[in-house]
């Protein structure tokens, strides 16, 4: 058992102790007490059966042992339970501690990387170890695991990558698919794959030896969801069992706005200060769609908090979103200091994936960002991230966050009518993002019959979007892998390298002039990296930082890009691609490599100055942030579209017409 382990000093991100001097053993004891008190451990009774029809009505009120029995007896279990009841953190540990997982590893998949890293940190602390020992994680560009690792939190994207080299996922004895209610594209595809894998493994184990050997080969699947809508999953796996874990939910009083809000950031700020000034202590959690809104609200709350009278409680702002540094995200779990109100600004990551203690008030903007396939009057269409209204199910989850430790309050910045008109729950992403398959076919990753090609396999070896993997493979032919890797590494960093400042637009333009490349944004990015490398040769850390500040560049993004580049180099080495090959100052080879991957994202100039897609009917404009925004390039290739009131192409370079003709792109368009 874990309790017998020597006490290890913990220094990882999960170490959120308020006092460093406190003996770790007492902290460990406190953590164990928290664990034992979670609803999932206690098997709390519930008075009402949830109002859903379940084929097996023996909704056992279940404690740890009973739960383990169910896992033992069923190959597939669907585990439902309110957010915060302990599903994600406890179930993997129960499986490990009881020996039920046998010799194999336990995978826990998450749709979001922040969830994977922060949950791994917490569970590692509960196991009294570091992240990367018994408990590890694997997310894109970042893996912390070792030969000791038994529980691994990974994004669903990463488990897909593992499938390519280990099609039966043989190192895992249990795969837990978490947050299944979100119906993300990858979660759905994973569940479909797991069914086949389980059949194959269980068939194989039947023919073989007895006892231990047999156990080793079987695969257990546990599907976990925060909502009660589980019928579909259970139907997909005949013989599976649905289990309900009672959560602890106190009443939450919900207020709606009397009128619709035009500016939800401003309205969130006002609501926050009303709570802060008038309401008793308790932390506030504000749901916003994304990073930009979080940053802007952070600034305005800070500004006004400084002007409050000195007898007011202090305001402590914590933020939580995907691209934020993990250490920063971990801060939300620190205990709120005395005479202080914590204000947490989060995306829907805090809706069901992560439970932050101490929250009494929730402010819900009613917005989220969602990947969506836009088929708007087009033949083509776009996969794009857009801000949209949340669903009823999300609104309920958000409100629920206020009632975990006592009665709470939820302020919805939208009217009751808007709530009533919201969609019930999210449409499965697979219904929205099918253009991904078309892209894969066009760039050669899939063949006519939908089978993965040799090229597709090589593409899958890179931890990149297929379009960029394709560009790397093309760079081999064009002799510019060095340049292409650098640019892709910057594009793959979690934050943008160019810092935007609407107040200092002219200063920004002036400072960046020297990086500008005539062919467009891809080579401009390369110029930035080259200039930074030169500076790094002569300047120390603070000199480099100052240089970045002066040029409105995000140094963290550049450093992260450097790490990513190294990982891409390693993948190249595995595939026998010489990443040192360079085209010097040439630009055509680089852009054409991108053109091979981004064939879907090519467009040509029309008389009115807008661009028409070569493989689709949509019209795009060049984004104002692009170096090409006021040039009239005849044909362009671009990284992505952003959809605001207009459809903009972002990350744009000039590509030759003859290249597009060679791709058949222009022909496709005429056909």
> Could you list the residues that contact Mg ion (CB under 5 A)?
87-88
Nearest CB to ligand ADP, comparing residues 31 and 461: 31
**Cα separation, 526 vs 238, whole angstroms:** 53
User: Least distance to ligand ADP from the beta carbon of 128, Å?
Assistant: 14
Structure tokens at 309: 């009278």
Residue 473, class by beta-carbon neighbours within 10 Å (0-12 exposed, 13-18 middle, 19+ buried)?
buried
102 touches which of Mg ion, ligand ADP, none (CB within 5 to 8 A by kind)?
A: none
Nearest CB to ligand ADP, comparing residues 38 and 666: 38
Distances (CA, A) of 183 to 366, 393, 527: 20, 13, 41
Nearest CB to Mg ion, comparing residues 221 and 317: 221
Cβ contact 232:69 at 8 Å: no
User: Least distance to ligand ADP from the beta carbon of 146, Å?
Assistant: 21
User: Least distance to ligand ADP from the beta carbon of 317, Å?
Assistant: 18
**Cα separation, 454 vs 544, whole angstroms:** 43
Alpha-carbon 228 to chain mean position: 23
Minimal CB distance to Mg ion: which residue? 88
613 touches which of ligand ADP, Mg ion, none (CB within 5 to 8 A by kind)?
A: none
Q: Which residues pair with 225 in a beta bridge?
A: 80
CA dihedral 172, 136, 349, 166 (to 10 degrees): -30
136 touches which of ligand ADP, Mg ion, none (CB within 5 to 8 A by kind)?
A: none
**Cα separation, 483 vs 585, whole angstroms:** 10
Alpha-carbon 125 to chain mean position: 22
User: Least distance to ligand ADP from the beta carbon of 451, Å?
Assistant: 37
Q: Which residues pair with 93 in a beta bridge?
A: none
**Cα separation, 642 vs 615, whole angstroms:** 18
User: Least distance to ligand ADP from the beta carbon of 643, Å?
Assistant: 32
User: Least distance to Mg ion from the beta carbon of 355, Å?
Assistant: 8
184 touches which of ligand ADP, Mg ion, none (CB within 5 to 8 A by kind)?
A: none
Nearest CB to ligand ADP, comparing residues 226 and 297: 226
84 touches which of Mg ion, ligand ADP, none (CB within 5 to 8 A by kind)?
A: ligand ADP
User: Least distance to ligand ADP from the beta carbon of 131, Å?
Assistant: 11
Q: Which of 227, 165, 218 is nearest to 194 (CA)?
A: 218
Nearest CB to ligand ADP, comparing residues 85 and 267: 85
Nearest CB to ligand ADP, comparing residues 223 and 268: 223
CA dihedral 634, 639, 643, 646 (to 10 degrees): -10
Residue reference for tokens 């709570």: 275
89 touches which of Mg ion, ligand ADP, none (CB within 5 to 8 A by kind)?
A: ligand ADP
Nearest CB to ligand ADP, comparing residues 85 and 635: 85
User: Least distance to ligand ADP from the beta carbon of 42, Å?
Assistant: 13
User: Residue 413 in 3-state DSSP?
Assistant: coil
**Cα separation, 378 vs 381, whole angstroms:** 6
User: Least distance to Mg ion from the beta carbon of 84, Å?
Assistant: 8
Nearest CB to ligand ADP, comparing residues 27 and 87: 87
Nearest CB to ligand ADP, comparing residues 70 and 215: 70
* Rg from Cα positions in the chain: 26
User: Least distance to Mg ion from the beta carbon of 85, Å?
Assistant: 8
Strands 252-256 and 151-155, sheet pairing = unpaired
Nearest CB to ligand ADP, comparing residues 81 and 403: 81
User: Least distance to ligand ADP from the beta carbon of 355, Å?
Assistant: 4
**Cα separation, 370 vs 184, whole angstroms:** 10
Residue 456, class by beta-carbon neighbours within 10 Å (0-12 exposed, 13-18 middle, 19+ buried)?
buried
Q: Which of 103, 135, 107, 111 is nearest to 122 (CA)?
A: 135
85 touches which of ligand ADP, Mg ion, none (CB within 5 to 8 A by kind)?
A: ligand ADP
Residue 4, class by beta-carbon neighbours within 10 Å (0-12 exposed, 13-18 middle, 19+ buried)?
exposed
User: Least distance to ligand ADP from the beta carbon of 33, Å?
Assistant: 12
**Cα separation, 427 vs 419, whole angstroms:** 17
Structure tokens at 327: 């250490």
**Cα separation, 196 vs 173, whole angstroms:** 15
What does the H/E/C string look like for 230-288? Answer: CHHHHHHCCCCEEEEECCCCCCEEEEECCCCCCCHHHHHHHHHHHHHHHCCCCEEEEEC
Nearest CB to Mg ion, comparing residues 108 and 557: 108
Residue 351, class by beta-carbon neighbours within 10 Å (0-12 exposed, 13-18 middle, 19+ buried)?
buried
Nearest CB to Mg ion, comparing residues 155 and 571: 155
Q: Which of 494, 373, 498, 353 is nearest to 427 (CA)?
A: 373
Find the distance separating the first CA and the last CA of the chain, reported in whole Å: 68
Nearest CB to Mg ion, comparing residues 88 and 524: 88
Nearest CB to Mg ion, comparing residues 178 and 217: 178
Q: Residues in the site for ligand ADP, rule: CB under 6 A? A: 14, 16, 38, 81, 83-90, 118, 121-122, 333, 355, 357
User: Least distance to Mg ion from the beta carbon of 399, Å?
Assistant: 18
Nearest CB to ligand ADP, comparing residues 39 and 589: 39
User: Least distance to ligand ADP from the beta carbon of 14, Å?
Assistant: 6
187 touches which of Mg ion, ligand ADP, none (CB within 5 to 8 A by kind)?
A: none
**Cα separation, 244 vs 52, whole angstroms:** 11
**Cα separation, 245 vs 40, whole angstroms:** 6
Residue reference for tokens 């902290």: 27
357 touches which of ligand ADP, Mg ion, none (CB within 5 to 8 A by kind)?
A: ligand ADP
498 touches which of ligand ADP, Mg ion, none (CB within 5 to 8 A by kind)?
A: none
Residues 6+ apart with CB under 8 A from 37: none
**Cα separation, 165 vs 445, whole angstroms:** 17
User: Least distance to ligand ADP from the beta carbon of 344, Å?
Assistant: 12
| Other Cβ atoms within 10 Å of 25 Cβ, number | 10
110 touches which of ligand ADP, Mg ion, none (CB within 5 to 8 A by kind)?
A: none
240 touches which of Mg ion, ligand ADP, none (CB within 5 to 8 A by kind)?
A: none
């Amino acid at each position: 058992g874990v309790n017998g382990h020597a006490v290890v000093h913990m220094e990882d991100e999960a170490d959120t102790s308020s006092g460093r001097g406190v003996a770790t053993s007492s902290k460990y004891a406190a953590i164990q007490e928290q664990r034992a008190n979670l609803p999932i451990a206690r098997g709390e009774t519930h008075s009402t059966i949830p109002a859903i029809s379940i084929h097996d009505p023996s909704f056992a009120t279940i404690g740890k042992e009973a739960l383990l029995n169910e896992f033992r007896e069923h190959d597939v279990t669907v585990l439902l339970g309110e957010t915060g009841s302990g599903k994600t953190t406890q179930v993997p540990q129960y499986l490990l501690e009881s020996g039920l997982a046998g010799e194999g590893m336990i995978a826990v998949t998450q749709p979001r990387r922040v969830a994977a890293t922060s949950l791994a940190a917490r569970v590692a602390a509960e196991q009294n170890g570091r992240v990367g020992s018994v408990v590890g994680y694997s997310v894109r560009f970042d893996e912390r695991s070792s030969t000791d690792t038994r529980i691994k939190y990974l994004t669903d994207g990463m488990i897909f990558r593992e499938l390519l080299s280990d099609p039966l996922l043989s190192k895992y004895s249990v795969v837990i698919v978490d947050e299944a209610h979100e119906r993300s594209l990858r979660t759905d595809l994973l569940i479909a794959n797991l069914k086949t894998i389980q059949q194959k493994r269980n068939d194989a184990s039947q023919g073989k030896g007895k006892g231990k050997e047999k156990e080793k080969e079987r695969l257990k699947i546990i599907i976990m969801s925060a909502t009660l809508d589980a019928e579909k999953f259970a139907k997909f796996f005949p013989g599976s069992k649905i289990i309900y874990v009672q959560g602890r939910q106190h009443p939450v009083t919900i207020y709606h706005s009397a009128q619709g809000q035009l500016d939800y950031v401003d309205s969130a700020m006002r609501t926050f200060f009303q709570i802060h000034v008038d309401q008793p202590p308790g932390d506030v959690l504000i749901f916003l769609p994304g990073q930009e809104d979080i940053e802007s609200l952070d600034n305005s709350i800070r500004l006004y908090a400084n002007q409050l009278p000195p007898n007011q409680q202090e305001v402590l702002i914590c933020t939580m979103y995907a691209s934020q540094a993990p250490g920063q995200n971990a801060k939300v779990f620190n205990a709120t200091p005395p005479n202080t109100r914590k204000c947490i600004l989060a995306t829907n990551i805090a809706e069901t994936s992560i439970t932050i203690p101490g929250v009494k008030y929730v402010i819900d903007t009613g917005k989220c960002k969602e990947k969506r396939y836009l088929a708007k009057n087009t033949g083509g269409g776009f996969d794009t991230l857009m801000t949209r209204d949340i669903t009823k199910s999300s609104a309920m989850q958000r409100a629920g966050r206020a009632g975990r430790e006592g009665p709470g309050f939820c302020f919805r910045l939208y009217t009751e009518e808007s709530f009533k008109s919201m969609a019930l729950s999210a449409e499965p992403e697979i219904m929205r993002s099918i253009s991904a398959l078309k892209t894969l076919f066009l760039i050669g990753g899939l063949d006519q019959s939908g089978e993965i090609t040799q090229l597709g396999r090589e593409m899958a070896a890179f931890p990149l979007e297929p379009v960029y993997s394709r560009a790397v493979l093309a760079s081999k032919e064009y002799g510019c892998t060095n340049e292409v890797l650098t640019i892709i590494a910057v594009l793959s960093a979690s934050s943008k390298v160019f810092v935007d400042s609407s107040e200092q637009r002219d200063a920004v333009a002036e400072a960046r002039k020297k990086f500008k490349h005539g062919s467009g944004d891809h080579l401009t990015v390369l110029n930035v990296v080259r200039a930074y490398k030169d500076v790094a040769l002569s300047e120390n850390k603070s000199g480099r930082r100052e240089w970045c500040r002066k040029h409105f560049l995000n140094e963290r993004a550049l450093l992260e890009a450097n790490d990513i580049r190294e990982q891409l180099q390693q993948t190249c080495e595995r595939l026998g691609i010489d990443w040192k090959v360079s085209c010097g100052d040439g630009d055509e080879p680089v852009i054409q490599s991108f053109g091979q991957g981004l064939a879907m994202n090519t467009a040509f100039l029309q008389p009115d100055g807008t661009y028409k897609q070569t493989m689709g009917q949509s019209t795009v404009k060049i984004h104002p942030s692009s170096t090409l925004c006021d040039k009239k390039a005849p044909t362009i290739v671009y990284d992505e579209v952003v959809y605001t009131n207009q459809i903009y192409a972002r990350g744009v370079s000039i590509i030759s017409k003859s290249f597009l003709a060679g791709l058949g792109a222009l022909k496709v368009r005429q056909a």
